[in-house]
């Protein structure tokens, strides 16, 4: 292990990229302690403690805890992610965007630029909403905005938070360009990692107070280990479809003839189904917080959509299965894959090119997506079960599954793969001498 770390820092470019990425992390976490002006932070902390089971609690996780502290990075990178998703979805129905997506590097640059503009617009609107939300919050009769939500407060909050989001977006792009890994994903990753020490401190406090015995603590740690292993397998699992390319003459050289495969992921949609499902499931509870306390409807919504109720978990699981199929249909187009195979002389053995190939791929993808979507739903519900029946804290249970663990595993594997690629390219051993990271190539 120490030799591997020494090898990493023996490569000047890799060393420079890793140190640059760590420097960006430091800047990002520094901004997490700079609050928006005109906010009573103590009153905000008390008021936000009651918002963990709502849409605001989900948003706070993606913002790395900055939303609950009302810092300059309160919006996090979510406006950029929302803009990317919007453009990706519009690309399936708007011919202009479809054409840009197929134009290669130039088209990608244009879409990236449009994503930036849309991010600024979404950030401005969301920051105004956050300003109105903060202005309405109270903690025991103590307003979060002591001077009241004036026009000056609205403008200052909008400018500060929009600028913070644009700066985070710029930091993420710099990591992608000059660091190691996907910058936007790593920004979310580091925000979730920041919660780990506090999660284990919560569990340690329960152990010291005698709430949890040593047997329960050991059982929970072993269960966490197997949960992480299961998520790794879910993230890495693929069905390989064999492809054979026909030989052809290009000039005086014989090209093609090789065998390869199309990797169809069990979880093509990634973490997006859980995000969509969580967003929808938190909407009723969020709306209920604004209803008068004497209304029976408010109490019924809170009971039915409490995170540990059977109704909540059942609907939540169904939504995840639905959105897994929905997002998989957007992310993978079997018709395009079949057309590309036919164009370059590739074929799947025993399957005719063209429509038969696209139907075959669609059928295989539908079959492997079903167990993948059910596994994804189980991963999403596990933290709720752990919190309800094991009596763990909210922060600790979140690392048994759900959005946070899927993001941590996915980003960690992607970053390790990039580090390993640098090592193998310079004839060093990989990060692991046994096992295999997806995408790792053999040394000849």
When mean pLDDT is compared across 25-29, 77-81, 312-316, 436-440, the lowest value belongs to 436-440
Output the pLDDT for position 321.
92
Output the pLDDT for position 420.
80
Mean per-residue pLDDT, 362-391:
88
Neighbour tally for 211: CB within 10 Å: 12
What residue segments make up the domains of the chain, in order of their start? 1-181, 227-403
CATH of domain 227-403: 1.10.3370.10
Buried b / exposed e over 256-282, threshold 16 CB at 10 Å, is eeeeeebebbbbbbbbbbbbbbbeebb
Spatial CA neighbour of 184 closest among 365, 16, 62: 62
Output the pLDDT for position 256.
57
Long-range CB pairs of 354-359 (<8 Å, 24+ gap) are 358/334, 359/334
DSSP calls for 345-381: TEE-TTS-TTHHHHHHHHHHHHHHHHHHHHHHHHHHH
Output the pLDDT for position 440.
40
CATH T-level fold of 1-181: Preprotein translocase SecY subunit (1.10.3370)
Output the pLDDT for position 442.
37
φ and ψ of 311, to 5 deg: -60, -45
* Domain 227-403 in the same topology as domain 1-181: yes
φ and ψ of 262, to 5 deg: -100, 115
Mean per-residue pLDDT, 332-341:
86
Give the angle 34-36-37 at the CA atoms, nearest 5°. Answer: 115
Output the pLDDT for position 51.
58
Local confidence band at 431 (pLDDT 50, 70, 90 cut-offs): low
Q: Which residues contact 244 (CB under 8 A, 6 or more apart)?
A: 259, 346, 347, 348, 349
- 201-to-29, 358, 393 alpha-carbon distances in Å: 20, 52, 10
Summarize pLDDT for 205-233 with one digit per residue, the tens: 888 888 788 888 888 888 888 888 988 88
Kindly report the average pLDDT of the chain as a whole number: 80
User: In 160-310, where do the E strands start and end?
Assistant: 238-245, 248-250, 253-255, 259-265
Summarize pLDDT for 26-82 with one digit per residue, the tens: 998 888 788 888 887 777 777 666 655 555 555 565 555 666 677 888 888 888 888
Spatial CA neighbour of 211 closest among 77, 69, 393: 393
Local confidence band at 439 (pLDDT 50, 70, 90 cut-offs): very low
Local confidence band at 441 (pLDDT 50, 70, 90 cut-offs): very low
Output the pLDDT for position 162.
92
Output the pLDDT for position 444.
32
Output the pLDDT for position 408.
85
Rounded-to-integer distance, Cα 271 and Cα 334, Å: 21
Q: What is this structure's pTM?
A: 0.75
Summarize pLDDT for 226-265 with one digit per residue, the tens: 888 988 888 888 888 888 877 665 566 666 567 788 888 8
The answer to whether the CB of 165 falls within 8 A of the CB of 123 is yes
- 305-to-54, 115, 157 alpha-carbon distances in Å: 10, 34, 32
Local confidence band at 166 (pLDDT 50, 70, 90 cut-offs): very high
Bridge partners of 265, per DSSP, are 238
């Amino acid at each position: 292990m120490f030799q591997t770390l020494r090898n990493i820092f023996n490569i000047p470019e890799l060393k420079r990229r890793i140190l640059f990425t760590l420097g960006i992390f430091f800047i990002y976490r520094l901004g997490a302690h700079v609050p928006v002006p005109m906010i009573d932070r103590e009153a905000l902390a008390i008021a936000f403690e009651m918002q963990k089971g709502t849409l605001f609690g989900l948003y706070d996780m993606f913002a790395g805890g900055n939303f609950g502290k009302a810092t300059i990075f309160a919006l996090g990178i979510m406006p950029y992610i929302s803009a990317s998703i919007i453009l990706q979805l519009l690309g399936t129905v708007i011919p202009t965007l479809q054409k840009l997506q197929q134009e290669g590097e130039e088209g990608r640059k244009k879409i990236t630029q449009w994503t930036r503009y849309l991010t600024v617009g979404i950030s401005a609107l969301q920051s105004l909403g956050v300003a109105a939300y903060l202005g309405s919050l109270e903690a025991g009769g103590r307003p979060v905005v002591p001077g009241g939500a004036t026009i000056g407060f609205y403008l200052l909050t909008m400018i500060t938070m929009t600028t913070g989001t644009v700066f985070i977006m710029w930091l993420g792009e710099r990591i992608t360009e000059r660091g190691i890994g996907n910058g936007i994903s790593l920004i979310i990753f580091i925000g979730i990692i920041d919660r780990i020490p506090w999660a284990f401190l919560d569990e340690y406090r329960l152990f010291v107070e005698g709430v949890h015995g040593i047997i329960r603590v050991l059982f929970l740690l072993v269960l966490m280990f197997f949960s992480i292993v299961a998520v790794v397998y879910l993230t890495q699992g693929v069905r390989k479809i064999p492809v054979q390319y026909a030989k052809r003459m290009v000039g005086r050289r014989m090209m093609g003839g090789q065998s390869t495969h199309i990797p169809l992921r069990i979880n093509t949609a990634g973490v997006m189904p859980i995000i969509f499902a969580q967003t929808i499931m938190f909407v009723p509870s969020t709306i209920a917080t604004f209803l008068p306390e004497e209304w029976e409807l408010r109490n019924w919504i809170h009971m039915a959509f409490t995170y540990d109720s059977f109704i909540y978990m059942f609907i939540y699981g169904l939504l995840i299965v639905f959105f897994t199929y929905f997002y998989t249909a957007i992310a993978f187009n079997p018709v395009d894959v079949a057309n590309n195979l036919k164009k370059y002389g590739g074929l799947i053995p025993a399957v005719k090119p063209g429509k038969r190939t696209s139907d075959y791929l669609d059928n295989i993808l539908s079959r492997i997506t079903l167990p993948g979507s059910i596994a994804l739903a189980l991963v999403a519900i596990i933290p709720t079960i752990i919190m309800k029946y094991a009596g763990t804290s909210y922060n600790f249970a979140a690392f048994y599954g759900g959005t946070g663990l899927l993001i941590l595993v996915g980003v960690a594997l992607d970053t390790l793969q990039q580090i390993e690629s640098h090592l193998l390219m310079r004839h060093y051993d990989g990060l692991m001498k046994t096992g295999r990271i997806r995408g790792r190539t053999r040394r000849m």
